[in-house]
Structure 1
Amino acid sequence: MSVFDEIDGHEQVLFSTGPGGLRCVIAIHSTLLGPALGGVRFLPYRDDDQAISDALRLSRAMTYKAACAGLDIGGGKAVIFGGSGVEKSEPLLRAFGQAVESLSGRFIAACDMGITTADLRVMRKESQWIRGLDAEEGGSGESGAMTAYGVSLGIRACLRHLDGDGSLEGRHVAIDGVGKVGARLATLLAEGGARLTVADIDQEKAEQVARACGAEVVSREKLYLLDVDVLSPNAIGNVIDADLVDRLRCRVVAGGANNQLTAPTVADRLAARGILYAPDFVINALGLIQVVDELHPAGHDMDRVRQRAELIPERLGEIFNRSRHLRISTAAAAISMARDRLAAVRTVRSFWLPPRCA
């Protein structure tokens, strides 16, 4: 398959190189609802194809996430190729900022895996289109805590849908990944009375979170096969494939990771097995809502973000009902909901341009 086949359906894909060994991809899937906003990842990708695929899939998911959340922004994503001797440096980060600035506001960059608010601060020296900075710099700060809060509400919504009771007391939750989102999620679930088992590629980090939350630590391979109420992926994506579905012993899959399923058909397999799947781009949307709030004309207001937290369980309830009514997977139901909104807006416009270009 050619690269042009891969990017079909995206409005724009920028490939850029620069000082410090910068090699990056900025994928803009859609600006139908507004300028594309997406996180920046700095990861040691296996090869170019993996990095490009990550950017394309994640940008598409961001479009659906924004649409389902009722936000007036589009979907985008950026990846910086790490590894092979390439380290984060001021020249590299500033060069990336220049790449963002070259898009004239069609892409707004925020934090994701491998990137910190300190890195964003360096990028901001070259581009005005950087969001998610620390509060003292006019931003909303790290969004992991809010993402975790939204995921915790989503997990309760899943349990309520199955049992009529969203209580976490005595529920067994397996958490894969205890980074920015997973560690905070573990704390919230433990406070709610859940029994936790955690795993992370960083064993020391997993043990630290386990001590703080009274959790058990197992390998990632073992975690996915545990007999639990909820399996919660909160690290990298593409972790659940068709073969794994047949071996799962959970009732719910609900976590903060993006692109948890390797293919759309995996959602059908989950449904066939009676496993309730909370579409990742819906349950993890509160972090995006926080970053988008920085664009509010009156300035950022964390109380306003918290008030929107109930959107997560409400939207999941609508998706579960649509799934049951149409006899489709919850993932398909979520995508159809997003596409309905996109289709409605498409009657008015087809893409977003910065004011000076409109």
Structure 2
Amino acid sequence: MKLTPLDAPGYEKVVYAEDEASGLKSIIAVHSTKLGPAAGGCRMFAYPDFESAKIDALRLSKGMTYKNAAASLPLGGGKSVIIADPKTQKTPELMQAFGRFVESFEGMYTTAEDVGISVEDIEEAAKYTSHAAGLNKGAFASGDPSPVTARGVYLSCVAAAKHAFGHGDLEGKIIALQGLGHVGMYLAEHLHAAGAQLIVSDINASSVAKARQAFSARSVAPNDIYDVEADIFAPCAMGAILNADTISRLNVKLVCGAANNQLADDAAGDALMARGILYAPDYVVNGGGIISVSTEILKITDEKWVDQKLEQLAVTTDKILTKAKAQNASPHKVADQFVDEILAQ
């Protein structure tokens, strides 16, 4: 396996790995270990080019520093990406090679599931590294973090709804949900149970069909989800989807979803505010997954610990939105300030 350090100012360690035997092409980016060893999932995606993969790895890694800090976890920020199509190029040998790559960081980074990666995939990687979490087996195994992520987003959505609508009751609210992967589908369950009306989109037709049947959801084409008239937009797919073009098309009062790095840039957060759309900062509301995985990393045995941490996400969301309103500031900037203060301490 060939390991190539990558130049990334402001990051502690970024490495590209290429393994000819398995076909692995992967980047691990460690942004910060100030609060503890870095932790963050692995994403497998058919990136159009190497630069796109690197940018995503760096954005996701920094996002994990902020997510872990916002969730009050003693963990730093790191992330990994595998440049491959998860439907056609994933093999046990490739995941095992990825495990060896993770192990080369000697505990500086712990991996877990993310887009395109299942519990079974991580268990293949875990055959060659002791720094993998989100497993089904083991003394502290936490399993698939997706349901926990979804629950945290739901609780935070209720908290954010109080600011957007004056109450947290989601019954009758129309929610445009983008992405029906592991987290998106679980979130749809919560929202449907709360009485919300769902409009869904996904590139996977079978997932759309499942949501239509299970939740009486209406569906639209993936690119049309930005144009529907709804109360809440819940992005649960890829990042950087909130930009000048898509924000101008939104007809909602609140954005709250599970996707990482939803804002294409800082200007996107300001643009949402200018349009009177409340934004619940993604790395705050979607911290449930890393909370679940951290029980494995930190060897937590208290059964109430995860529930308490998830409830705290909603409290933190409320605090940030309250402060943003008081300061007439964009919530994403208030959230960044909140985490920067934690890191400074």
Tell me the TM-score normalised to structure 2 length. 0.95
Residue number in structure 1 paired with 2:81: 79
Q: CA deviation at 1:128?
A: 0.3
Q: CA deviation at 1:59?
A: 0.3
Q: CA deviation at 1:111?
A: 0.6
> 1:1-358 maps to which residues of 2 (within 5 A)?
7-18=8-19, 19-83=21-85, 87-135=89-137, 138-297=140-299, 299-344=300-345
Q: CA deviation at 1:264?
A: 1.4
- Gaps of at least 5 residues in structure 2 are none
* SS of equivalent residue, structure 2 residue 253: strand
Q: CA deviation at 1:6?
A: 6.8
Kept in 2: contact 1:294–1:300 (CA 8 A): no
Letter in 1 for 2:244: A
Q: CA deviation at 1:37?
A: 0.2
Letter in 2 for 1:15: Y
Per mean C-alpha deviation after superposition, the further-off stretch among 75-84 and 326-335 is 75-84
Change (3 A) 1:69 1:151: same
Kept in 1: contact 2:43–2:81 (CA 8 A): yes
Letter in 2 for 1:185: L
CA distance in 1: counterparts of 2:176 and 2:330, whole angstroms: 23
Q: CA deviation at 1:303?
A: 3.3
* SS of equivalent residue, structure 1 residue 42: strand
CA distance in 2: counterparts of 1:85 and 1:235, whole angstroms: 16
Q: CA deviation at 1:7?
A: 1.5
CA distance in 2: counterparts of 1:282 and 1:45, whole angstroms: 26
Q: CA deviation at 1:248?
A: 1.0
* SS of equivalent residue, structure 1 residue 111: coil
Kept in 2: contact 1:140–1:302 (CA 8 A): no
Tell me the TM-score normalised to structure 1 length. 0.91
Identity of aligned residues (%): 38
* SS of equivalent residue, structure 1 residue 133: coil
Q: State the Cα deviation string for residues 64-114 of structure 1 (Å, max 9, x = none).
A: 011111111000000011049972223221111111111110000011111
- Gaps of at least 5 residues in structure 1 are 345-358
Q: CA deviation at 1:162?
A: 2.4
Kept in 2: contact 1:186–1:213 (CA 8 A): yes
Paired positions, count: 341
Q: State the Cα deviation string for residues 311-343 of structure 1 (Å, max 9, x = none).
A: 121101111122123332111111111110001
Kept in 2: contact 1:20–1:86 (CA 8 A): no
CA distance in 1: counterparts of 2:6 and 2:91, whole angstroms: 33
* SS of equivalent residue, structure 1 residue 110: coil
* SS of equivalent residue, structure 1 residue 308: helix
Residue number in structure 2 paired with 1:347: none
Letter in 2 for 1:21: G
CA distance in 1: counterparts of 2:206 and 2:51, whole angstroms: 31
Q: State the Cα deviation string for residues 213-260 of structure 1 (Å, max 9, x = none).
A: 111111122211111110000011111111221221010011000011
**What's the RMSD between the two structures over aligned residues?**
1.9
Q: State the Cα deviation string for residues 117-141 of structure 1 (Å, max 9, x = none).
A: 1111111111100000015674111
